[in-house]
């Protein structure tokens, strides 16, 4: 009888524990920022790898893992290109195994890398990072066409070498991720956290009276941007900032965002070289969009080593104020690829269809800096749920605008202390030797009429598929699509911060 009673008591405790604990299911995403650098040239298998969680992990409307939690792991394996005799591609296999909440509670972690933010590298199904073949860059490919054309004459061999060695540079094949690179992990097994693991101060929300006042303010706000030449409706206004220009700049700089350079002949040439040589351009210019016939007064972007991908936002000052403070509105979208041969432009960026994810990215980044006093969101009835931007990319949204009130931020959180940087690659002579060896290997396999013909056709087909199209506006008003909305749809800010 006593044994049966004890077992019943144990089962009761287990049930109580399951009720009071919360779980994040497999597949949930963790957005992290590296605090230790890692690279294929200088890192070794077994080296520790650390990161910080930059966005809270939410389940059932409750925060399970708060932003600021520390992620720990190791470099499981590494493949180095070296001089290029054995490998053409670099590879990294990172394994993250534990997460420590700000209150010190440690939990095991089972996750794989799902994305390296704005990176050109590809990921395997298991989450291993694979570098790109350096001789696959656009400049090297077109150089191959030139070389194939002129090598019908034997005396042109010197010119061939000059083209390869002097004019068309092979991108660095070794992988290098400095501290600050952002990754997305996907859980492979559920993570359970206790309520004590979620303590911590969060920005406040709008009061009931403030929401009523904000409704009147939003009614006067623009809903969309417009293209400069065609005046076609373009990106959606999905963020509002309350604070001075300096407040906004301080927050974005602390979050690792950079102001783009102005479009000039020099910056355009730099961007063309970045496309041709297969590397990033962190300060690449942004095209102009208009709000109420005015160009953006501020623009910010965050990219890495792929010029076709970047987070970016354009910001306009509004004539209204909020409790005596300046008000700004922003349109944030995520460039994810190039699109070619669109009407009016030979090449443009293609944006991610779910624009709410970019809105949430901006919110998470700025909240993480501690530069935000208040964060909330409100629905806008004049914003279409489904539409297209000026270049024809589809856009989907829940119609909500994020509202952030900034502070002076005297001590912004920019991240955690990092270790010294690693060597990215060898000496200039090692790099020269590696380039020549990799070029020779590639030429043996690919420098022939058959491969060049196949490659040229493939590139033309890819460009045609990515050209996109304007199509007709397919605006869907919230009222018309109300039946598709769940009656218990929670706002993203409620999910993340309440």
What is the model's pLDDT at position 442? 74
What is the model's pLDDT at position 360? 97
Selected residue with higher pLDDT from 355 and 280: 355
Question: What phi and psi, each to the nearest 5 degrees, are found at residue 224?
Answer: -145, 160
What is the model's pLDDT at position 74? 96
**Confidence tier at 185 by pLDDT (50, 70, 90):** very high
What is the model's pLDDT at position 481? 43
**Antiparallel, parallel or unpaired: β 48-53 and 62-65:** unpaired
What is the model's pLDDT at position 343? 62
From its phi and psi, is residue 84 left (phi > 0), alpha (psi between -120 and 50) or beta?
left
The predicted-structure confidence for 404-433, as pLDDT tens digits, reads as follows: 999 999 888 766 556 667 887 878 888 778
Query: Which run of H or of E encompasses 227?
Result: strand 224-227
What is the model's pLDDT at position 163? 59
Tokens for 231, please give them: 């005046």
Mean pLDDT, residues 18-45? 84
What is the model's pLDDT at position 326? 97
The predicted-structure confidence for 346-391, as pLDDT tens digits, reads as follows: 778 899 999 999 999 999 999 999 999 999 999 998 899 999 999 8
Selected residue with higher pLDDT from 277 and 51: 51
Determine the Cα angle at 495 with ends 492 and 496, to 5°. 85
> Is residue 3's pLDDT more than 70?
no
Selected residue with higher pLDDT from 290 and 193: 290
Rounded CA gap, 395 and 389, in Å? 7
What is the model's pLDDT at position 291? 96
**Confidence tier at 156 by pLDDT (50, 70, 90):** low
**Confidence tier at 241 by pLDDT (50, 70, 90):** very high
Are the CB atoms for 141 and 458 separated by under 8 Å? no
**Confidence tier at 193 by pLDDT (50, 70, 90):** low
Mean pLDDT, residues 428-444? 77
Are the CB atoms for 195 and 64 separated by under 8 Å? no
Strand partners, 125: none
What is the model's pLDDT at position 359? 97
Selected residue with higher pLDDT from 44 and 10: 44
> Is residue 12's pLDDT more than 50?
no
What is the model's pLDDT at position 301? 97
Closest CA to 289 of 233, 351, 239, 222: 233
**Confidence tier at 135 by pLDDT (50, 70, 90):** low
Mean pLDDT, residues 47-55? 94
Kindly report the pTM of this predicted structure.
Answer: 0.81
Indicate the CATH number for domain 21-132+176-193.
2.40.128.260
Query: Could you state, in order of their start, the residue ranges of all structural domains in the chain?
Result: 21-132+176-193, 204-413+468-482+490-497
> Is residue 259's pLDDT more than 90?
yes
Write down the number of H helices and E strands in the chain. 10, 28
From its phi and psi, is residue 440 left (phi > 0), alpha (psi between -120 and 50) or beta?
alpha
Mean pLDDT, residues 141-161? 58
What is the model's pLDDT at position 458? 79
Mean pLDDT, residues 240-264? 95
What is the model's pLDDT at position 175? 87
What is the model's pLDDT at position 281? 87
Q: How many CA atoms lie within 13 A of 156 on its CB side?
A: 11
3-class SS of residue 217: helix
The predicted-structure confidence for 446-479, as pLDDT tens digits, reads as follows: 766 677 777 778 777 776 765 554 444 455 544 4
What is the model's pLDDT at position 372? 96
What is the model's pLDDT at position 333? 97
What is the model's pLDDT at position 347? 77
What is the model's pLDDT at position 454? 77
The predicted-structure confidence for 93-114, as pLDDT tens digits, reads as follows: 999 999 998 888 888 999 999 9
Mean pLDDT, residues 256-271? 89
**Confidence tier at 490 by pLDDT (50, 70, 90):** very low
> Is residue 482's pLDDT more than 60?
no
Distance of CA 75 to CAs 33, 88, 98, 179, Å? 16, 20, 14, 15
Least confident of 5-9, 134-138, 168-172, 478-482: 478-482
Are the CB atoms for 238 and 334 separated by under 8 Å? no
What is the model's pLDDT at position 344? 59
Average pLDDT of the residues of the chain: 81
């Amino acid at each position: 009888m006593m044994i049966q009673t004890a077992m019943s008591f144990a089962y009761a405790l287990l049930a109580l524990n399951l009720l009071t604990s919360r779980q994040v299911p497999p597949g949930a995403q963790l957005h992290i920022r590296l605090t230790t650098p890692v690279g294929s040239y200088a890192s070794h298998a077994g080296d520790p790898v650390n990161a910080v969680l930059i966005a809270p992990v939410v389940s059932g409307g409750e925060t399970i893992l708060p932003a600021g939690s520390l992620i720990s792991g190791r470099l499981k394996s590494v493949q180095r290109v070296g001089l290029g005799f054995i490998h053409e591609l670099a590879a990294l296999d990172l394994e993250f195994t534990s997460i420590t909440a700000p209150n010190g509670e440690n939990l095991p972690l089972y996750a794989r890398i799902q994305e390296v933010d704005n990176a050109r590298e590809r990921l395997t199904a298991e989450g291993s990072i694979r570098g790109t073949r350096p001789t696959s860059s656009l400049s090297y490919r077109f150089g191959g066409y030139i070389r194939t054309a002129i090598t019908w004459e034997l005396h042109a061999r010197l010119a061939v070498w000059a083209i390869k060695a002097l004019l068309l540079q092979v991108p660095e094949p070794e992988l290098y991720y400095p501290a600050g690179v952002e990754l997305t992990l996907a859980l492979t097994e559920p993570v359970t956290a206790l309520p004590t693991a979620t303590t911590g101060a969060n920005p406040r929300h709008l009061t009931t009276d403030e929401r009523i006042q904000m409704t009147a303010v939003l009614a006067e706000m623009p809903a969309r941007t417009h293209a400069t030449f065609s005046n076609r409706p373009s990106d959606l206004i999905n963020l509002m900032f309350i604070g001075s220009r300096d407040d906004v700049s301080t927050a974005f700089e602390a979050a690792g965002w950079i102001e783009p350079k102005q479009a000039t002949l020099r910056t355009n040439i730099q961007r063309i070289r970045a496309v041709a040589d297969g590397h990033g351009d962190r300060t690449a210019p942004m095209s102009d969009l208009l709000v109420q016939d005015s160009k953006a007064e501020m623009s910010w972007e965050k990219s890495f080593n792929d010029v076709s991908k970047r987070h970016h936002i354009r910001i306009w000052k509004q004539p209204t104020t909020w409790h005596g403070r300046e008000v700004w509105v922003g349109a944030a979208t995520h460039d994810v690829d190039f699109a070619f041969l669109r009407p009016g432009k030979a090449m443009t960026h293609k944006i991610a269809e779910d624009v709410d994810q970019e809105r949430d990215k901006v919110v998470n980044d700025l909240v993480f800096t501690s530069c935000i006093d208040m964060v909330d969101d409100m629905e806008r009835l004049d914003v279409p749920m489904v539409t297209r931007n000026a270049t024809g990319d589809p856009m989907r949204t829940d119609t909500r605008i994020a509202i952030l009130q900034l502070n002076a931020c005297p001590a912004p959180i920019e991240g955690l202390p990092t270790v010294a940087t690693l060597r990215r690659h060898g000496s200039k002579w090692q790099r020269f030797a590696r380039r020549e060896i990799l070029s020779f290997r590639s030429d043996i396999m690919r420098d022939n009429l058959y491969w060049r013909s196949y490659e040229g056709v493939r590139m033309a087909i890819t460009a045609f598929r990515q050209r996109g199209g304007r199509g007709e506006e397919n605006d869907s008003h919230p009222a018309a699509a109300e039946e598709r909305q769940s009656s218990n749809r929670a706002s993203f800010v409620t999910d993340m911060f309440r």
